[in-house]
Structure 1
């Protein structure tokens, strides 16, 4: 296997100076790495999450950011976020909040299905619906999906279906918002070392990761900062002619 490259943050730039960027689900993983990246590049950040201790850590780590407790599974997630933000416009919206869960098809029930879809699918829909009028001309929307959509891994059907729904939604949002010069793209992370699979029993997780890594041409998991670097590009004006695209950050997993 190849060695993991350095994950140092870039030298401070002003790529996001004067720009307000909202990142949902910013308390850990790719969202947290994205907050670090964008802060280093001058962004005025609005960061959301649900865990009170992690939110406190965000406030300490990003004293200039607006940190908002917001539950993506709530029917009022969009209006709650809108009310907390004030009247200033938005230059970037990263719909990143979500969680993973698995179950054999025979064990899927209404409660578990609805819980996952409420956070991973309905939440981004309602957040964008509420914030759409605050998006400035030329702004960027980024949606976090997953390579689970393409892996066909057993027990991941509900999670994969939800992430597939986001890809489909982003395509239509890109068409609808293009008239305002607003770009919509999808980040498709593969096996990234975020602790996202910690809900699995250790033996199951080890087996799953071994199987996935055996299909990754680069032969390793990615880092949150590697995914965040691609997210930062898509949110920035460097991607001003990129919309309705799906960017896989997966070490080649889905492109063999």
Structure 2
């Protein structure tokens, strides 16, 4: 008997990186997963790595109708024991280069999307279910080029506390995963030289002096999704190698 035996978990952004690592482990621990993604390549990869019973489908959290479409698709599962809102979008820009389209896309994907998703899925969450939102240490780092991304991820932290208060009477727990520098495709938008320089600079600031793995970050999310965290709600869990303690 695994921690997720008989449980149904939905993971947005679950076709790569942290989300896919978590989905694979949930299945290994007896659960059933539904995962969303955007990239066709990532969707195909998830279908290869997850069992035939897994629901893998495309959903773009930045679109106005995405939350309703998501709720309609997973309604066939018969209720959710866990919801991990992990889908996200990242780009960087200096203050003087920030334009309406840049701001709007980031906020739509990272803040409005999760807000509408939990609103659409609230009635499908079983009593005692667990919700996890993926934020980022960027919300605290004050990186000069990441103001919009940091704001969008900071919004998730504030929303999660409100969700926890609103849903507590149903026994539904809401917590936040705050990853730091994790090895994943998330920074693939950067040029290889820029990405390498960025990651080396971050590693030098870490107490553990290495990047984290997707599996290490997913393990903390799965703790929060499981009954092991039955008395944990409204909390933030940093998985950052010691970045934020400095």
TM-fit CA distance, 1:141: 0.3
Task: Give the TM-score normalised by the residue count of structure 2.
Answer: 0.96
5+ residue gaps, structure 2, are none
Question: Which deviates more, 144-153 or 198-207?
Answer: 198-207
What CA RMSD, in Å, does the superposition of the two structures yield over aligned residues?
A: 1.1
Higher helix share: 2
Task: Give the TM-score normalised by the residue count of structure 1.
Answer: 0.93
Is the 8 Å Cα contact of residues 68 and 81 (structure 1) preserved in structure 2?
no
Matched residue, 2:221: 231
How many residues in Structure 1 have an aligned counterpart in Structure 2? Answer: 244
Is the 8 Å Cα contact of residues 95 and 144 (structure 1) preserved in structure 2?
yes
Matched residue, 1:31: 19
Is the 8 Å Cα contact of residues 16 and 46 (structure 2) preserved in structure 1?
no
Query: After superposition, what is the alpha-carbon deviation per residue over 1:216-241, rounded to whole angstroms, capped at 9, x for unaligned?
Result: 10000000000011011000000000
Q: Does 1:17 align with 2:5?
A: yes
Q: Does 1:139 align with 2:139?
A: no
TM-fit CA distance, 1:206: 2.6
Q: Does 1:178 align with 2:168?
A: yes
User: What is the alpha-carbon distance in structure 1 between the residues aligned to residue 96 and residue 196 of structure 2?
Assistant: 23
Matched residue, 1:83: 72
TM-fit CA distance, 1:99: 1.6
> Any idea what SS the aligned residue of 1:102 has?
coil
* Mapping of residues 33-48 of structure 1, within 5 Å: 33-48=21-36
Ranges of 4+ aligned residues in structure 1 off by more than 3 Å: none
> Any idea what SS the aligned residue of 1:196 has?
helix
